[in-house]
Amino acid sequence: MSLEDGIFEQRAARVKEIEALGFKPYGKRFDYTHTIPEILAAYGDKTAEELVPPPPAPEAVRVRIAARIQTVRRMGKAAFMHVQQNGAKLQFYIKKDAISEQDYALFNLLDIGDIIGADGYLFRTRTGELSLHVEKLEFLSKILLPMPEKFHGLEDVETRYRQRYLDLISNPESRDVFVTRAKVISSIRRQLEERGFIEVETPMMQTVYGGAAARPFVTHHNTLDVDLYLRIAPELYLKRLIVGGLERVYEINRNFRNEGVSTRHNPEFTMVEFYQAYTDYKGLMDFTEEMLRQIALDSTGGAVVPYGDLQLDFGNVRRLTMREAVVEFWEGDGRPTLDDVRNPEWLLANTHKATPGEALGHLFEVHAEKKLQQPTIIYEFPIEVSPLANNSPDDPAMVDRFEIFVAGMEIGNAYTELNNPMEQRRRFDSQLQMRDRGDDEAHQMDEDYLRAMSFGMPPTGGEGLGIDRLVMLMSNRQSIRDVILFPLLRPEGEIGMADRLRRLDA
């Protein structure tokens, strides 16, 4: 028998002993008076005398707490434990004299990782630590498996992703990441709501997919007997809503793209997309700068955010055209001039791409993208890589579009929406040609979208922000998997837990 099995069976036996003592080892309501963070906030700076006035102490602070046991230091007939709740920890002091015989028997059956409730009063130990003097114990849930090591926590990356619950229990900094994530999302929501945007939900299963250049996942609906695509973007549906007169809409949810995984890509990822009628991409640039700065403030407390070796300044966003960026960040010999990168022949001669616009986009990715460390807006994109954006009034090769780059990552994409159905039809047709040339990420024809646009779509600005990447920046994480609770992994194979539990019943 392995050690782990031994602990498992021994603890299962303890469940019965705990029951025999009159406690319910699982599933009992427990109305606590304070969470541990609340206790630390309210009493963290109180002195020993303030907590327990001398001598007999009728006015001591009595509280009732639920928490998970983190460490235990037993010393004969007394013990100290650290327990944690909501990412904060508190010390419990348990003395045989101070609790009932039944509770002391329970205490002797407790394991690190058990969830317990306690009544008692707050005091300071001889060394000055705020602690709970336990007077009554309650049992709330049993741990059967051994906890990770208390000092190092759970380090194994794979286990941290697969068993995120363990990661969250044993690594406070991992918990902090997801708290930051929640702050980023609520900051975005609040800012959009304040500006009159309403939140909507559009289909994630679509018969025609679009709104981005990507390959989709395919699934199947049985009774309708149709294949459906998991959406690669909500864009085309949100713009249908703009046609319908929902003039400021946003959606925060998942997109699915059937591509490789990396430190910056997970096949399902979260975006916020928002659309505002009667504005354009310049209006969105101003809004975006404000929003990024506010997200940084709301989630980290400052506009300057540490990221690896960098200090990212979200209070100061640079703006460059794509052509300027290619010229400025050109690597190696033969740096082009602005006239070169405007010249279709030069562009085609310097890449293997089929069109000047794809060529410019490629040169930008190769030379400039990873050098954009501080928050930077890149604007004026080639028409060929922007099938849904409106033409620039003064340059037929370009569209009114920008992207935001931080730490070499694209975190946002916005443009003045194309609202002319005749031009949109031509763009779809040229996407179909790219598809015929073997580009399986080019857009499909979406006739209902053309129909919607034919009812008249107001001039509109639209934008998408990658939430996961934003959270990476705000929480100083280098891998997208660190900011997604359950990132996609290959299946792990036999776990054997059901069998183990089955044996306990036998």
Strands (E), 49-192: 62-75, 78-85, 88-95, 115-124, 130-141
- Minimum CB distance to RNA, residue 455 (Å): 28
Q: Which is nearer to RNA, 243 or 292 (CB)?
A: 292
Amino acid at 250: Y
Conformational region of residue 283, where left means phi above 0, alpha means psi within -120 to 50, and beta covers everything else: alpha
Query: Minimum Å distance from CB 299 to RNA?
Result: 21
- Looking at beta carbons only, is 183 or 231 nearer to RNA? 231
Q: What do you get for the CA distance between the two ends of the chain, in Å? A: 17
Find the helix packing angle between 322-329 and 356-363, rounded to 10°: 50
DSSP-derived secondary structure letter, 314: T
Nearest distance in Å: CB 196, RNA: 26
Closer residue to RNA, CB minimum distance, 57 or 304: 57
The DSSP code for 383 is G
Nearer to RNA, 63 or 243 (CB): 63
* Exposure class string for 328-348: b at 16+ Cβ within 10 A, else e: ebbeeeeebeeebbbeeeebe
Q: If residue 274 lies in a helix (H) or strand (E), which one and from where to where?
A: strand 268-277
Q: If 0-12 CB within 10 Å is exposed, 13-18 middle and 19+ buried, where does residue 162 land?
A: middle
Q: The dihedral of CA 440, 443, 326, 470: what is its sign?
A: negative
Nearer to RNA by C-beta: 108 or 186?
A: 108
Task: Give the nearer residue to RNA in terms of CB position, either 9 or 247.
Answer: 9
Closest CB to RNA among residues 38, 111: 111
Q: How far is the CB of 154 from RNA (least distance, A)?
A: 5
d(CA 439, CA 265) in angstroms, rounded, equals: 20
CB 251 to RNA: min, Å: 16
> Which residue number, 267 or 458, has a Cβ lying nearer to RNA?
267
- Residue 31: closest CA among 190, 140, 179, 178: 140
> What minimum distance in Å lies between the beta carbon of 207 and RNA?
20
Give least dist CB 369 to RNA, A: 7
Close Cβ partners of 166 (under 8 Å, ≥ 6 residues apart) = 148, 154, 159, 160
Distances (CA, A) of 400 to 212, 272, 307, 388: 16, 20, 30, 10
Cβ atoms 247, 241 nearer than 8 A: no
Nearer to RNA, 111 or 199 (CB): 111
